[in-house]
Amino acid sequence: MIEIPMPRLSDSMEEGTILRWLAEEGASVTRGQELAEIETDKASMVYEADEAGVLHTLAAEGDTLPVGAPIAQLLGDGEQPAGAGRPGASEAAGSARPVPTNGARQPAEPAVPARSAPPQGAALGAGNGLPPGAGGPPPAATAGEAPQRSEQAPQPSGDRVKASPLARRLAADANLELSALAGTGPGGRIVKADVERAATGEAAGGGAEGAALAQGAAAAGGAVADVPRASTPMAKGASQVHELTRTQSLIARRMAEAKATIPEFTLRCDVDMEAAVEMRASLKRLAERGERERAPSVNDLIVRACGLALREHPRANGTYRDGAFELHERVNVGVAVASADALLVPVVRDADRLSVWEIATEARRLAAAVRDGTITPPELSGATFSVSNLGMYGIDSFTAVINPPQAAILAVGSLAQRPVVRDGRLAVAHTISLTLACDHRILYGADAAEFLGAVRESLQDPLRLLT
């Protein structure tokens, strides 16, 4: 028997979600066969079998598990599965605590004395955090009481309940049993909104139906939380709750970490781009005549200028980790690309060694992969510096958030004709604004100024970028 753990598919991956199994339970798989599609913190990838055997899955589609946790087994001839199957399957059906996504068990809750148990058919009170009917058998309908109805049946507790990590945490905080909730997410997955409705009593129904249940519980002597009326107008109007994807969650965590822990300072300069614009026009004519595949963009010129400057100023090419900084041999520039619902940073590797034509080809390929959803985690890893360009949106200048543990990030504004002073006279020229955000633990003001000055000099004398 060979155990298959949750693989580490990127350098920052801590947990993964099984989106779907590509091989059926009990099927014979061969080495290299596609087993599962796994969502990581950066992208979705297909995981292939390292060995041959009969597949026995331990994790269900939608399960989120930490790196290293078992997700399946490959069995040899005559072998039987080891363990009790899917995570959480061995838990008692009546357990009031969900199984955490990291596999650790929650401490058992103290037993409730028999004398404190409510009569059968009574809704549990707000003191235990459970919605009416969630902690025991459904109440029997009596004369004058509205029968209890359910739009969706609660999920069975025999298998691990499908729920998002946020929903699991909220349910644990509210002492709610996930198996008693009906999920409204994809594939019946329990999401944040389902837990919030249950915690506020909305799972029992609104209006007359909820009031009937509340009255029945009060008659049985149980304390009941106020049931909100479905028709109560909200000050903000109707609201929709959108859970963060794994990619968005990673971005949120890393950006919060950056603003909370990095002592940041910024430098800004304007660059006269007139010579660069003229050179790019010449390169476009070469591309139109078929001598080159395509002309590099202004952003390609900036990436090339950063690559040359990073080679000359290695501090800007460093990263800060655990009270020390590392200076890297390779110059890998990450280029921020907006996707449908997130911001990803694919990496142009060896930007100091590639020609401006090669940078243009690679940057276009990576941007297309991001927008098509085919980008892979290796293409999003290993950056030593980042460039973020919002000039195409008409933004004159801005300050980007440093992507830890990198030392700096360059924010690029719009290229436009602006008034400049030349030889004491007012003129009009194409200019661009560059803003460098720096980690003061690695870069000091003079180091950062020299680096930014080197980028500006290369752009103002663009023939350097063609060498």
Task: Return the domain boundaries, the chain.
Answer: 2-75, 91-101+148-211, 246-466
Which CATH code for domain 246-466? Answer: 3.30.559.10
pLDDT band at 187 (very low <50, low <70, confident <90, very high): low
Q: Which of 363, 377, 364 is nearest to 250 (CA)?
A: 377
Q: Which of 356, 378, 436, 441 is nearest to 405 (CA)?
A: 441
Integer Cα distance of 388 and 411 in angstroms: 5
When the candidates are 2.40.110.10, 3.40.50.620, 2.40.50.100, 1.20.1250.20, the CATH number that belongs to 2-75 is 2.40.50.100
Q: What is the pLDDT of residue 159?
A: 54
DSSP state of 339: -
Output 289 or 405, whichever has higher pLDDT. 405
Give pLDDT tens digits for 105-115: 444 444 444 44
Enclosing H/E stretch for 200:
none
The arithmetic mean of pLDDT across residues 5-17, rounded, is 79
pLDDT band at 465 (very low <50, low <70, confident <90, very high): very high
pLDDT band at 141 (very low <50, low <70, confident <90, very high): very low
Residue 218 pLDDT > 50, yes or no?
no
Residue 94 pLDDT > 70, yes or no?
no
Helix 165-173 and helix 192-199: axis angle, to 10°? 20
The arithmetic mean of pLDDT across residues 334-343, rounded, is 85
Q: Do domains 2-75 and 91-101+148-211 have the same CATH topology?
A: no
pLDDT band at 315 (very low <50, low <70, confident <90, very high): very high
Output 335 or 83, whichever has higher pLDDT. 335
Q: What is the pLDDT of residue 95?
A: 36
Q: What is the pLDDT of residue 233?
A: 54
> Any idea which architecture 91-101+148-211 has in CATH?
Irregular (4.10)
Output 95 or 305, whichever has higher pLDDT. 305
Residue 448 pLDDT > 90, yes or no?
yes
3-state secondary structure at position 179: helix
pLDDT band at 131 (very low <50, low <70, confident <90, very high): very low
Residues facing residue 39 across a β-bridge: 17, 44
Q: What is the pLDDT of residue 355?
A: 93
**pLDDT cut 70: percent of the chain above it:** 74
Residue 127 pLDDT > 50, yes or no?
no
Residue 153 pLDDT > 60, yes or no?
no
What one-character-per-residue DSSP string does 201-259 give?
Answer: TGGG-SHHHHHHHHHHHHHTT---PPPPPTTPPPTT-S----PPPHHHHHHHHHHHHHH
Q: What is the pLDDT of residue 93?
A: 34
Least confident stretch, 140-154, 269-283, 306-320, 350-364: 140-154
Mean confidence (pLDDT) of the chain: 78
pLDDT band at 11 (very low <50, low <70, confident <90, very high): low
Residues with Cβ within 8 Å of residue 398, at least 6 apart in sequence: 390, 411, 413, 435
Q: C-alpha 15: how far from its chain's center?
A: 11
Residues with Cβ within 8 Å of residue 180, at least 6 apart in sequence: 130, 131, 134, 135, 154, 198
The arithmetic mean of pLDDT across residues 230-247, rounded, is 73
pLDDT band at 234 (very low <50, low <70, confident <90, very high): low
Residue 440 pLDDT > 90, yes or no?
yes
Query: What is the set of active-site residues?
Result: 440
Residue 145 pLDDT > 70, yes or no?
no
Residue 326 pLDDT > 70, yes or no?
yes
pLDDT band at 41 (very low <50, low <70, confident <90, very high): low
